[in-house]
Amino acid sequence: MDFALATQLYPEEYWYQSDSYLKDEPEFDLIQVVQQLHASLEPRTVFACFGKVIGQHLPIQGIQLAVEQQKLSWGRHHGLSLQRNLCHNDTNMAFQYQLSAPLTPLQLMQLEKIEPLFALPFINALKYQKMANQAMFDALTGLGNRHYYSQSILNALARAQRKHGKVSLVVLDLDRFKNLNDEFGHKLGDTVLMEFAKVINKAIRNTDQAFRIGGDEFVIIVQGDEDAAGILCHRIMEFIPTNPLLNQFQVQTSMGVAGHKSAQNPEQLYEIADKALYSAKADGRNGFKIDKAS
C-alpha cells in the first residue's frame, strides 16, 4: 500500500485564505471530548474513541499508534501520511495519521490540543490493563491463575447452559515433578513449567482456556464434550516429546477429564476430573482418564 508523506501541512496555494476563514472551521468541544475519552478503561476502546472524535472534525481517516511495544490501528490506511510523536509522563507515543487532505494551520492547532487530552485516559487504561493482567494471569507461565479460573468456569458453564452447549474440564499435573525439583533445583523446575505451559497453549484451540492454579497443577476449560477433551489430551501427549527441554528431562503428565452435567457446580466438576487424574496416575502415569459415569 502506497503512502505519500505530507511534508507540507498546508500547501502554498491555500495560504491566501484569511484568518477569518480559518476561524469559521469548527472547534472541538473539549469538555465533551474529555468525557468521551475517560468513559472506558480498555485501551483499544479509548483509542477508537480518539479516532472517531478527530475523524469527525479533521480530515483524518486513519491512525496507527505505537506505544510500549503495542501497535494499535484505527480507520483506513491510505492517503497522505503525517507522523507525530508525543511524550506524556515518560510514555512515548508515535502517531501516524492518514489524511484525506492536508491539515490547515488551525486544524493542526486543534490536533495539538486534543492529543494531550487523549494521552492521560489512554495511559490510565494501559495501567489498568496491566493491573488486571497481573490479577488474572500467572506471572511465570502467562496462563490464567486460580482466581481467573474461578471466574472463567462460572462464565463457561452459564454460557453453555444458555446455548445448550457442552463444557469439559481437564485437570493435569506433571508426573514426579517434586523429584525433578529436588534433583535439579527450582530454577530448572520453573523453566519446565514455562515450557509445559507453551505445550498446553500449542495444543488448545482458540475456544479453550488454560490455567495454572498452583505448583505444577493446571486446568483446561474445553468447549466440547469428553471426547473433545480426550483429543486435546492426545495432542498434549504428542507435543511434549517435541519440546527439547521436556524431552531432555523426560517430563510426563497425567490428566483427568470430566464432562459437565447439568446438576454439577464448578467444585463438583473439578472434583470428578481430579479423581480421574489420580486414576490415571494409579494406572501408571503418563496418560489420561475420562470419567463418563458422573
Question: Given 106, 134, 162, which residue is the final one in a domain?
Answer: 134
**pLDDT, tens digit, for every residue of 251-262?**
999 999 999 998
| Domain final position from 134, 162, 189 | 134
Among 16, 34, 14, which Cα is nearest to 122's? 34
User: Domain check: are 121 and 158 in the same one?
Assistant: no
| Residues 205 and 79 grouped into a single domain | no
Residues 129 and 172 in one domain: no
The verdict on residue 16 lying in a domain is no
Is 282 inside a domain boundary? yes
Residue written as cell 477569518? 20
Which pLDDT score is estimated for 235?
Answer: 97
DSSP run (H or E) holding 37: helix 30-37
| pLDDT cut 90: percent of the chain above it | 76
Same domain, 53 and 124: yes
What is the pLDDT of the chain when averaged over all its residues?
A: 88
| Residues 112 and 153 grouped into a single domain | no
Q: Are residues 202 and 223 in the same domain?
A: yes
Q: Which domain holds residue 210?
A: 146-291
Per the domain annotation, does 115 fall within a domain?
yes
pLDDT digits (tens, 9 = 90+) for 224-237: 999 999 999 999 99
Closest CA to 60 of 81, 45, 38, 43: 81
**Interatomic CA distance for residues 221 and 65, integer angstroms:** 34
Q: What is the tens place of the pLDDT at every residue in 7-21?
A: 344 444 433 343 433
Residue 19 in domain: no
pLDDT band at 88 (very low <50, low <70, confident <90, very high): confident
- pLDDT of residue 55 exceeding 80, the answer is yes
Cα 22 from Cα 143, distance rounded (Å): 54
Confidence of residue 70 (pLDDT cuts 50, 70, 90): confident
Of 92-101, 122-131, 270-279, which gets the smallest average pLDDT?
A: 122-131
**Total residue length of the chain:** 294
Buried b (16+ CB within 10 A) or exposed e, 217-245: bbbbbbbbbbebbbebbebbbebbeebee
**Residues 34 and 86 grouped into a single domain:** yes
Distance of CA 88 to the CA centre of its chain: 24
Question: Looking at residue 33, what is its pLDDT?
Answer: 80
pLDDT value at 26 more than 80: no
d(CA 118, CA 151): 32
Question: pTM of the predicted model, to two decimals?
Answer: 0.64
Domain boundary among 82, 112, 134: 134
The CATH number that applies at residue 249 is 3.30.70.270
Calculate mean pLDDT across residues 35-41.
86
Query: Same domain, yes or no, for 106 and 216?
Result: no
Please check whether residue 177 is in contact with residue 189, taking contact to mean a CB–CB distance below 8 angstroms. Answer: yes
Q: Which is higher by pLDDT, 10 or 272?
A: 272
Q: Are residues 109 and 164 in the same domain?
A: no
The total number of structural domains that make up the chain: 2
Residue 28 has pLDDT above 80, yes or no: no
Tens digits of per-residue pLDDT, 116-126? 999 999 999 99
Confidence label for 38 from pLDDT (cuts 50, 70 and 90): confident
Express each pLDDT in 188-215 by its tens digit: 999 999 999 999 999 999 999 999 999 9
Q: What is the pLDDT of residue 13?
A: 42
Catalytic residue numbers read: 216
Is the domain of 111 the same as that of 153? no
- Rg of the chain in Å (alpha carbons): 27
Same domain, 78 and 187: no
Q: Of the ranges 27-36, 73-82, 168-177, which is most confident?
A: 168-177
Same-domain check for residues 86 and 159? no
